[in-house]
Copies of this chain bind each other. A is one copy, B any other.
Amino acid sequence: MNEKRIHKPRPVSGFPEWLPEVRMVELAWFDHIRRIFESYGFCNIETPSVEELDVLHAKGEDVDKEIYVIERLHKEDGDKEARLALHFDQTVPLARYTAQHFNELTFPFKRYQMQRVWRGERPQAGRFREFYQCDIDVIAVDNLPLHFDAEMPAIMWEVLSSLPGMGGEKIQIRISNRKILMGFLEGLAIPRPDGTTIPLSADLKAEIVRDIDKLEKLGKKTVLQRIDGTGSRAGIGFGLDGIILPFIELCETAYRSADELEIALTNSRDINTGNSTLKEGIEELSFVMDQLKHLPGGAVVADLSIVRGLDYYTGTVYETVFTGDPGYGSICSGGRYDDLAGSYINKHLPGVGISIGFSRLFDRLRQQGKLPVGAKSPADILMVLPADDRRAEASETARILRERGFNVELYHSAAKIKKQMEYAGKKSIPYVWFPPFEDGQPHEVKNMQTGEQQKADAQTWRRS
């Protein structure tokens, strides 16, 4: 025999797991979110954990780097399958799903999805590499009413403000419309040495969008430096940062209404508010903000700094922050995309969606001790086993109670009563049931919180 070697297992960095009592709260969160999503008529789907690598590629530079591919440990020669990779979000798989099952779906297709996603980040404190997202999206054929752009954040407000443990948190949904930024960039004319001007290239615009997306994280100064560098590399012979600055200055304020934002835009002499894309963006944002007036004051603001890094967004964009801690980053984000499925199907399928970064939010509250963590078991009742020869009666009593909807754990051995009660206490099981220790005696139930103990009948007993 070999000597027994012990390798104490370590947690794998970035792949969280919870103790049973925490998992119980996590399940309650999922149930809560599912109930609200379904109350608005969203159906559920799940997609496989993997997509063909080509499907995931090129949806945004930052994400590309983080893709996990999977491979069989013992590959055999002649494996000619497409490379498979774990999905990094639920939007790209949704687009593929919608195109693939197009003929079998009813549009507008309203679905929710609550799955794990994976991002192969370098291990660092607080970054998850496997985490849950909870998404709702609506996808329509040709036309998707703008009302949905307002319904999305309204539903998420309902979810986030009512999750167990979130009661004391102040959050704010920040909304913008990418057309405002894209229209501003479109309206720019870059002077050339010969006196003519040219518009910004598509690549340059995309790069500026990604730079502005980092405002919260990197700060104004760094972002302006990056934009300057981007301009230089593109051969623009003067400070591109100076041209973008007026927009960035408007990013520093959050506006209570789209009207206020429009006034600020109009007042900025360096922004060409005549651009039709920009105008459209303001109109859309104005409509969405208007539809959200029923939410509490400060719940929603118009904020031009919200642009989202992913390339596929084309209109409304959302982020959600803890009002007192915006640096923590967004806990619920999304937006409108006009043609995400366009590479799979010859249809125009605009969509709008929003996603809760579930695990990150949950773990924040867990670490702050704000989750209602309690019982270690779903059992309502611990059924005492008085003696081995009374097992049949204890089992039958448990069965009757289960049939009546109670969760009942039967203690596994005829141990001392004190030990059985301690077990119920350790697991925070609220009631302990004593079947008769001798024939003819009554059943009794102890309420572990009040200490009260009363006669009981399994057919009629109710929680006290």
Contact = CB atoms under 8 A, between A and B. Distances in A.
A122 B110 CA distance: 35
Nearest to A414: B145
A9, A55, A72, A148: residue with the most chain B Cβ atoms closer than 10 Å: A9
B48 A17 contact: yes
A423 B65 CA distance: 42
Contact of A8 (B67, B108, B344, B376): B344
A306 B47 CA distance: 34
A413 interface: yes
A13, A47, A53, A70: residue with the most chain B Cβ atoms closer than 10 Å: A70
Interface string A11-39: 11101111110011001000000000011
A70 B376 CA distance: 33
A161 interface: no
Nearest to A294: B395
Contacts of A84: 12
A234 interface: no
Main secondary structure of the interface of A (DSSP, over half): loop
Contacts of A12: 48, 50-52, 82, 84
Interface string A168-211: 00000000000000000000000000000000000000000000
A27 B113 CA distance: 12
A245 to B, nearest CB: 31
Given A19-B101, A67-B72, A145 B413 contact: yes
A110 B409 contact: yes
B40 A409 contact: yes
A67 B70 CA distance: 10
A237 interface: no
A407 B34 CA distance: 11
Given A100-B9, A106-B376, A427-B106, A130 B23 contact: no
A253 interface: no
A412 to B, nearest CB: 5
Interface in A42-56: 42-55
A96 interface: yes
A393 interface: no
A67 B73 CA distance: 5
A23 B38 contact: no
A43 B408 CA distance: 12
A97 B9 CA distance: 8
Given A24-B43, A48-B12, A38 B74 contact: no
Given A41-B377, A52-B12, A100-B9, A20 B145 contact: no
Contact of A23 (B39, B44, B379, B427): B44
A17 B10 CA distance: 33
A199 to B, nearest CB: 15
A65 B73 CA distance: 7
A100 B44 contact: no
A55 B38 CA distance: 39
Interface string A79-104: 00110111000000000110111001
Given A8-B344, A11-B100, A45 B73 contact: no
A45 B23 contact: yes
A343 B376 contact: no
A412 B74 contact: no
A6 B38 contact: no
A7 B95 CA distance: 13
A382 to B, nearest CB: 8
Nearest to A43: B20
Interface of A: 4-13, 15-20, 23-24, 27, 38-55, 64-74, 76, 81-82, 84-86, 96-97, 99-101, 104-106, 108, 110-111, 116, 118, 120, 122-123, 130, 145, 147-148, 342-346, 376-379, 382, 391, 402, 406-410, 412-413, 423, 426-427, 429
22 contacts: A4-B346, A6-B345, A8-B100, A11-B100, A12-B51, A15-B50, A17-B48, A18-B45, A18-B46, A19-B101, A20-B111, A24-B43, A39-B407, A39-B408, A41-B377, A41-B408, A41-B409, A67-B74, A70-B86, A73-B120, A81-B123, A106-B423
